[in-house]
Amino acid sequence: MFAGIILILSFFNYESPRYLVKIGHDDKATENLARVRGLSVDDQHVIKEISEIQQQLQEEQEATLGQGWLGILKEMFLMPNNFYRIYLGLFSQLLSQWSGAQSITIYAPEFFALLGTKGQNEKLFATAIFGVVKFVAAIICALFLVDVIGRKRSLGIGITLQALSMCYIAAFLTAVPQLEEGEYFTSSQKHASTGAIVMIYISGFGWAMGWNSMQYLLNAEIYPLRIRAISSSMVMCFHFVNQYGNSRAVQNMLLERSAGGLGPAGTFWLFTVITIIGGAWAWFFIPETAGRSLEGMDKLFTLRWWQIGRYGETGANEQVIAEERFAEEKEAAREQVREVEKV
């Protein structure tokens, strides 16, 4: 049903201005961009953005003139700034998928049973609530929080919530023995069990605010026009490969150590470690991309690779300000020349 709705709505969608510029329909590109921005076609901001798109496309075409598909592959993997973007896309998918959030979604009834939820109806009800929490959180975060507080800050808060949740659940499963048939938790264990169930929901919110938003936004925003389609497709293919591998591996990971698995506690300790590693990696390597045009992304990747994540936004903003100041000084000089010529 949802695929059908998307298919129908796609016929009413506006074509991307960048694609229209790429095929030479600049007037239509300007019209679509003005409609999306809510501005007139002769507005300064629309004209400037179209000019940036045209300039980037021209630079890419000149750099890879006559190289065909081989040139695209060379541009993807042999140009350090582009290879760094692909590296960001691939590692964000790897770390997000193995942080455990998707596993909780797939095996939610089994995990709720591990935390003390009894009865099939109770497990399914808890799973349904978890699905609602993730859905509402995803809508709120994607439409409001991510752009308001920034991509990177949102990712950091989300990963922190997810790591704390995974750590609590792992500690609970380590400290509290699994119940056999007919056994029940003590009063203190019951409170701890309720806390672990709440942490499942918090991990869903953290996932929606952090990796779930960033893994798609980052993949859609960072690539130059010429390699955007193939790079994004390759990263999303890697996304689903990891999703499949993770969903198959968790079944074996949950087995007891005597059976070759990690056990429930070991599985959640692994998720905790990977989530923490993902947070540290994101802080060092992922740049802030909020409020920046797709063409403006190039400014983020002109720094050295170890500076992009921590200083990319500041460096890019400084470059933009310097370029704008240079353009203003150049225009002022031209104006002076015109005044002299009039005299």
Does a structural domain hold residue 208?
yes
Average pLDDT over residues 242-270: 90
Does a structural domain hold residue 9?
no
53/133 same-domain check = no
Does a structural domain hold residue 71?
no
Does a structural domain hold residue 7?
no
Query: How many independent structural domains does the chain possess?
Result: 3
98/172 same-domain check = yes
pLDDT tens, 47-100? 888 888 888 788 777 766 656 677 788 888 888 888 999 999 999 999 998 998
Please write down the HEC assignment for all residues of the chain.
Answer: CHHHHHHHHHCCCCCCHHHHHHCCCHHHHHHHHHHHHCCCCCCHHHHHHHHHHHHHHHHHHHHCCCCHHHHHHHHHHCCHHHHHHHHHHHHHHHHHHCCCHHHHHHCHHHHHHHCCCCCHHHHHHHHHHHHHHHHHHHHHHHHHHHHHHCHHHHHHHHHHHHHHHHHHHHHHHHHCCCCCCCCCCCHHHHHHHHHHHHHHHHHHHHHHHCHHHHHHHHHHHCCCCCCHHHHHHHHHHHHHHHHHHHHHHHHHHCCCHHHCCCHHHHHHHHHHHHHHHHHHHHHHHCCCCCCCCCCCHHHHCCCCHHHHHHHHHHHHHHHHHHHHHHHHHHHHHHHHHHHHHHC
227/107 same-domain check = yes
> Above 60 in pLDDT, residue 316?
no
Does a structural domain hold residue 8?
no
Does a structural domain hold residue 4?
no
Average pLDDT over residues 133-154: 82
Range of the domain at 323: 302-342
106/238 same-domain check = yes
23/127 same-domain check = no
Per-residue pLDDT band at 171 (split at 50, 70, 90): very high
Domain boundary among 61, 89, 115: 61
130/249 same-domain check = yes
34/89 same-domain check = no
25/173 same-domain check = no
272/235 same-domain check = yes
123/200 same-domain check = yes
Does a structural domain hold residue 67?
no
121/195 same-domain check = yes
Does a structural domain hold residue 297?
no
Q: For residue 160, what pLDDT is reported? A: 94
143/266 same-domain check = yes
Q: For residue 280, what pLDDT is reported? A: 93
Q: Considering the chain, what percentage of its residues have pLDDT values greater than 90?
A: 26
